[in-house]
Amino acid sequence: MTAPDLRLPAEWEPQAGILVAWPHEGTDWAPRLSDVERTYVALAQAVTRYQQLLVCIADDDLQERVHGMLESAGVMMARVGFVTVPYDDTWLRDSGPITLREPDSFCLVDFRFTGWGGKYAAERDDELIGGLVASGVFSQARRERVDWALEGGSIESDGHGTILTTWKCLHQRHPDQDRAAIEEQLRIHLAAERVLWLEHGYLQGDDTDAHVDTLARFAPNDSIVFQDCDDPSDAHYAEMQRMHRDLLALRTRSGQPYRLHALPWAAPVIDDGRRLAASYANYLVINGAVLIPAYGDPSDEVAAAVLSTAYPGREIMPVPCRSLIWQNGSLHCITMQLPAGMLAEE
């Protein structure tokens, strides 16, 4: 159980680094490994311009290969660290540590990871945080194991005790619990003072049961950035309009409406007859910049302009992500931010 002085930081607060797990032949990325590795290299190039990148790798051979790949791409290797740890897949937003700040240390909340409600094998991913702690990469951090299913992509924090989430996802994970019981878990383990619920919103090609980080994100200055759909002929239109109304009804701690920033709707991306979830809401905030998923669509530039308004003073950097949505996620899904002071070698 967390103490009263714990706090879940907002993503735009100072960071020590970004945590990723490198794809390899033993992951589901094997059929398109070269494509997805190009995205990871581009991500490494962007992150290391501003801060550390901690890369989970499966073994020494993979580390040697990845080191050579990043060095050849001109990545600042002084800002890259490696840690050997077993993992099933690379969606660290959901299997990685959700970090709360204590006055002089950190609490790594280790929720049970079930492979998004039992859809995929997840035993090694469920042990990932324990492996990271045992490796010694974190400074002054204790691990709190919680026998309750939750993924990091299903929650958003404003840094001041407010959690934004979706009823569809958390109800799917805990069908025997009502809203009050779920909110109590978020209060106990994430120091939540308020929980704001989205009743609507989904994306075809998303197998997370409507993770909020594909739909709507807290931003500075009492703002929410959200994925809009302005095409009445699109199958998503009615549901996303309902989600927009949900957002309009939300209130800040002071009782005011949130400032809403609507992201454009990319043209459908179809792969072998399957529509993929090309969400611009799945961006990543780092120190001094916002990394935005790029899909090779004219809306990429429009989305970048929206984020420039929502995150004033930060560089907006596109990262090619069409390879990621083939496996039903995007840029935010493969990363986890680590708050400033958390890494042992800072």
Q: Which two tokens stand for residue 35?
A: 């494509």
pLDDT score recorded for residue 5:
85
Q: Is residue 344 part of a domain?
A: no
| pLDDT per position as a tens digit, 165-178 | 999 999 999 999 99
pLDDT score recorded for residue 297:
97
**Which CATH number covers residue 159?**
3.75.10.10
Q: Is residue 5 part of a domain?
A: no
In this prediction, what percent of the chain has a pLDDT beyond 90? 97
Q: Is residue 217 part of a domain?
A: yes
What's the chain look like in SS3?
Answer: CCCCCCECCCCCCCEEEEEEECCCCCCCCHHHHHHHHHHHHHHHHHHCCCCEEEEEECCHHHHHHHHHHHHHCCCCHHHEEEEECCCCCCCHHHHCCEEEECCCCEEEEEEECCHHHHCCCCHHHHCHHHHHHHHCCECCEEEEEEEEECCHHHEEECCCCEEEEEHHHHHHHCCCCCHHHHHHHHHHHHCCCEEEEECCCCCCCCCCCCCHHHCEEEECCCEEEEECCCCCCCCCHHHHHHHHHHHHHCECCCCCECEEEEECCCCCEEECCEEECCCCCCCEEECCEEEEEECCCCHHHHHHHHHHHHCCCCEEEEEECHHHHCCCCCCHHHCEEEECCCECCC
Q: Is residue 43 part of a domain?
A: yes
Q: Is residue 4 part of a domain?
A: no
Provide mean pLDDT across the span 272-278: 94
Would you say residue 182 has pLDDT above 70?
yes
| pLDDT per position as a tens digit, 234-258 | 999 999 999 999 999 999 999 999 9
pLDDT score recorded for residue 4:
63
Q: Is residue 1 part of a domain?
A: no
Would you say residue 2 has pLDDT above 80?
no
Would you say residue 296 has pLDDT above 90?
yes
pLDDT score recorded for residue 1:
47
CA 309 from chain centre, in angstroms, equals 21
pLDDT score recorded for residue 153:
98
Q: Which two tokens stand for residue 252?
A: 């800040």
Instruction: Give the residue numbers spanning the domain of 57.
Output: 15-339
Provide mean pLDDT across the span 329-334: 98
Q: Is residue 9 part of a domain?
A: no
Provide mean pLDDT across the span 27-56: 97
Q: What value does the mean pLDDT of the chain take?
A: 96
Sign of the CA dihedral running 53, 291, 208, 155: positive
Provide mean pLDDT across the span 51-58: 98
Q: Report how many domains make up the chain.
A: 1
Cα end-to-end distance, the chain, whole Å: 28
Would you say residue 345 has pLDDT above 90?
no
Provide mean pLDDT across the span 137-145: 94
Q: Is residue 25 part of a domain?
A: yes
